[in-house]
Amino acid sequence: MQLFEMEKSYSDRVLALDEKNRVVTYQELDSFAKEFYQNIGKKSLVFILCSNTIGSLLGYLSCLKTGVVPLMLASHIHEKLLMRLLNEYQPDFLYVPVSCLDKVSESEIVWKTWGYCLCRRKVKQSTPLYEELSLLLTTSGSTGSPKLVRQSGDNIDANAASICKYLNIDKNERPVTTLPMNYTYGLSIINSHVLKGATILLTNQGMVERDFWNFVKEKKATSFGGVPYTYQILKRIGFMDMDLPKLKTMTQAGGKLSLNLHREFALYAARTGKEFIVMYGQTEATARMGYLPSFKAVKQCGSIGIAIPGGRFWLKDEEGKEILKADTEGELVYEGKNVALGYAGCAKDLKKQDNWKGILYTGDIAKRDMSGYYYITGRKKRFIKLFGNRINLDEVERMLKDSFEEVDFACLGVDDQLIIYTDITKENGKELILDYLFQMTGINARSVIVRYLNQIPKNEAGKTLYGELDSKSNL
């Protein structure tokens, strides 16, 4: 892989350091990878239970270096969900933290290192793997689902190189981990910085914890990435008043940021000489497809920007034809070398070759302005009809979040009934929401149900868990 072509020249350069002041170099990664592969012996399927630690990082990168195929999973995955995936895909090995050994059954520990154990499973037959297959990730929001995205080494290389280009990443960068390693956005940060021989600051601390910010300052972090929920938290904890002279880049992806937060962080970045870069991506495109240049962050507020270097966006109408007219909605289509090979739903799918051929139909509805900048307006399947009028649930969510500061919303519904979930605390919150909706859209209160939650349920990537809304609401 191109990801490691320059590794020998990086030699004793620091690959990563953690909150315990432990350090690992690029040269040590090379030695680790050789021993890792000696214990596996061939191209095999390995499940990695991830954490933001040196052991986890070395295991992941060693897989990419040696052709072993990892499925990246959260270390805290529920045992039943893990068993479902094990039964479906029958991996030869598990690479897990020592603290997760209770989740491992019918396997033999063959190697212990950096707080991790490589465990050989007793499988009747190894799962056949496509030669170009390099990485497996769960689809967004479905950690226990057997539906996986299949990525190749070329996909990873192309996306990492493109990210380095538009973010101007070099060897002097020091990103701090704010996202899980099993999340495509978090992995893309790792990949792009490894390509340039940068140093990754590893921590499992949360952004609300003082130790996290002490680590950021002490280790001179230059950048971090976050999902919309991350930026909600940053505003609440007074991030904009912190003294962080070494921090120069903030990136955002993983969903649409509210207009208010987008504008606030864009203005903060402009005021402090930092860069705030909003991006757009999906696991199906090995992470990132679009970005909004920082100098456009205020003027084009709300936009996902333009396609990344080497990629192309276009809009498709309902007949499959390209939309050329500005400000006209259609399905967003992306073309590029980072588009994944396709999905897998079972073990036999891991033999499949490239199904998508570099073209991804994103399922997002978007429009393009006169300047060529794209704006996501909703999801293709997130629509209901209220008395004959087509309603975009994502658009309703966006409007509410933009208008009610520091209040979270999630919308579901069926035809002729819109259900709004919210954590609003105002005594007359329901009336305020219904009045606003009627004034802005004409949606009558008779077709709306408002349900209160202490907190909108999110996954580890900060995305709303729509399937859990009913069970957590106070009717």
pLDDT tens-digit profile of 200-226? 999 999 999 999 999 999 999 999 999
- Same domain (yes/no): 445, 364: no
Least confident of 149-153, 300-304, 403-407: 403-407
Residue 327 predicted with pLDDT over 80: yes
Which of 368, 399, 427 delimits the end of a domain? 368
Q: What is the CATH number of the domain that holds 404?
A: 3.30.300.30
- Same domain (yes/no): 6, 102: yes
- Same domain (yes/no): 361, 421: no
pLDDT class of 395 with cuts at 50, 70, 90: confident
Q: Report, as an integer, the average pLDDT of 363-386.
A: 89
Residue with tokens 């868990």, as numbered in its chain? 465
Q: What is the CATH number of the domain that holds 354?
A: 3.40.50.12780
pLDDT class of 473 with cuts at 50, 70, 90: low
> What pLDDT was estimated at residue 319?
94
> What pLDDT was estimated at residue 388?
60
Residue 143 predicted with pLDDT over 50: no
- Same domain (yes/no): 364, 400: no
Residue 153 lies in a domain: yes
Residue 329 in contact with residue 306, Cβ under 8 Å? no
Residue 97 predicted with pLDDT over 70: yes
Residue 140 predicted with pLDDT over 60: no
- Same domain (yes/no): 398, 261: no
Residue 471 predicted with pLDDT over 80: no
> What pLDDT was estimated at residue 81?
83
Which of 339, 368, 397 delimits the end of a domain? 368
What are the phi and psi torsion angles at 303 (to 5°)? Answer: -90, 150
Q: Any bridge partners for residue 366, and if so which?
A: 330, 376
Report pLDDT digits (tens) over 435-446: 999 888 878 898
Residue 475 predicted with pLDDT over 60: no
pLDDT class of 460 with cuts at 50, 70, 90: confident
Residue 322 predicted with pLDDT over 90: yes
More confident residue, 459 or 299: 299
- Same domain (yes/no): 107, 165: yes
Residue 410 lies in a domain: yes
pLDDT class of 412 with cuts at 50, 70, 90: very high
Residue 236 lies in a domain: yes
- Residue 369: closest CA among 432, 428, 323: 323
Residue 245 lies in a domain: yes
- Residue 12: closest CA among 23, 27, 24: 27
- Same domain (yes/no): 262, 201: yes
- Same domain (yes/no): 219, 321: yes
> What pLDDT was estimated at residue 441?
80
Q: Report, as an integer, the average pLDDT of 350-363.
A: 97
Strand bridging mode 409-414 / 417-422: antiparallel
Which of 342, 368, 394 delimits the end of a domain? 368
> What pLDDT was estimated at residue 384?
83
Residue 377 lies in a domain: no
Residue 141 predicted with pLDDT over 50: no
Residue 375 lies in a domain: no
- Same domain (yes/no): 408, 343: no
> What pLDDT was estimated at residue 144?
52
In this structure, which amino acid lies at residue 150? R
> What pLDDT was estimated at residue 145?
67
The token duo for 73 is 């999973």
- Residue 398: closest CA among 429, 414, 376: 376
The token duo for 215 is 């680590």
Residue 424 lies in a domain: yes
- Residue 120: closest CA among 112, 131, 128: 112
- Domain that residue 427 falls in: 382-472
In this structure, which amino acid lies at residue 51? S
- Same domain (yes/no): 387, 356: no
SS3 96: strand
Residue 445 in contact with residue 434, Cβ under 8 Å? yes
> What pLDDT was estimated at residue 474?
58
Average pLDDT, the chain: 93
Least confident of 57-61, 90-94, 388-392: 388-392
Residue with tokens 């904009």, as numbered in its chain? 240
- Same domain (yes/no): 131, 230: yes
Residue 105 lies in a domain: yes
SS3 440: helix
H or E element that contains 213: helix 210-218
> Per the structure, how many domains does the chain have?
2
- Same domain (yes/no): 412, 309: no
Q: Exposed, middle or buried: residue 342 (CB in 10 Å: 0-12, 13-18, 19+)?
A: middle
- Using CA atoms, how far apart are residues 456 and 458, in angstroms rounded to an integer? 6
Which residues, at least 6 apart from 394, have a Cβ–Cβ distance to it below 8 Å?
256, 376, 377, 378, 379, 382, 411
pLDDT class of 142 with cuts at 50, 70, 90: very low
